[in-house]
Each structure stands twice: as structure tokens, then as C-alpha cells.
Amino acid sequence: MKVTTWWTRLAQLILTINVLFFVGTSTIILFSPHIFQSIVQFVPFNRHYLGDAGIFQLAVSLGLLWAIPDPTRRVSHIWIGTIASLMHTTNHVYDLFFVSTPPLFRLWLPQTLTLLVLALSLLVVAIGCSRQTRSSEGAQAGPALLR
């Protein structure tokens, strides 16, 4: 199966959206932690913890950024970003349902849904790129190796 241009473009678009979101969030966390704290409303404020979260998120973003030019050849980067994003989202879902109070639930629900959409979009790209990579490797191997 040939890697199609539309699939590559879709994967690149989804990766770009995720990178922009995560780099933007990391930038706010690292350079304006009090603004980020006022948006997410996690108490108590801990600048060191926020700095760690921002740096890890930025590192994952750089891996996804590296994958944008050729997603089917850098699928491992996409899987790392996908797993990190799914774990992050799971943590938000847990907090949403088991930690939040009604006012926080209303605040955290849109944030959690945004993270869920981003995580699932990365999952689609990771699965699709993995399939494209396996298909192209099989086609390059030749018919004798496919029997």
C-alpha cells in the first residue's frame, strides 16, 4: 500500500495542531505560571511543579514537532506523544470525576474535553502511521517475503 499524500497531510495537520497547543501551554506554564494557575485553578500554587510539567510537555512537543515532516518514518515519536497525551488526559478525567467540586467541574470539563480530543487525534495518527509504515515495509520486502 502506497503512503498517500492525503494521509500524510492529515497526519501533519493533526500533529501541528497538537504541537501548537502543547507548546503554547508549555510557554504559558514556564513564563507565566501565575496566569496558568489562574486558568486551571489547581491549588496550592507550586512554581516548581508547574515548571516541571511545562518542561516535560515541551519535550513531548519537540518530539511531535520532529515527526511533522515525515510522520510515517517517525512513528515512534508520535507514539510517545500519544501515550503521554493519553496518560495526561486520564489524569484530568480522574480529577474531573473524583476530585472536583461542582464549580471546578464546570471549569475543568472544557479543558478535559480539549485534552481528550487532542489525545484521540494523536491516537488516530499513531495507528494510521503505524499501519502505513507496515504496509510500505511489506511492499518493499517483495512478494517472496510476504508468503
> What total of structural domains would you count in the chain?
1
Domain with 109, as residue range(s), is 5-138
Is residue 24 a part of any domain in this protein?
yes
- For residue 50, the tally of other CB atoms under 10 A from its CB is 20
Is residue 12 a part of any domain in this protein?
yes
Is residue 122 a part of any domain in this protein?
yes
Is residue 146 a part of any domain in this protein?
no
Is residue 127 a part of any domain in this protein?
yes
Q: What is the helix, strand, coil percentage profile of the chain, to 5?
A: 85, 0, 15
Is residue 147 a part of any domain in this protein?
no
Look at residue 92 in the predicted model and tell me its pLDDT. Answer: 93
Task: Read off the pLDDT of residues 83-137 as tens digits, 9 standing for 90 and up.
Answer: 999 999 999 999 999 988 888 898 999 999 999 999 999 999 999 999 988 877 6
Is residue 143 a part of any domain in this protein?
no
Residue 1 banded pLDDT, cuts 50, 70, 90:
very low
Task: Read off the pLDDT of residues 34-68 as tens digits, 9 standing for 90 and up.
Answer: 999 998 888 889 999 999 999 999 999 999 999 99
Radius of gyration of the chain (CA): 18
Burial 17-28 (b: 16+ CB within 10 A, else e): ebbebbbebbee
- For residue 60, the tally of other CB atoms under 10 A from its CB is 23
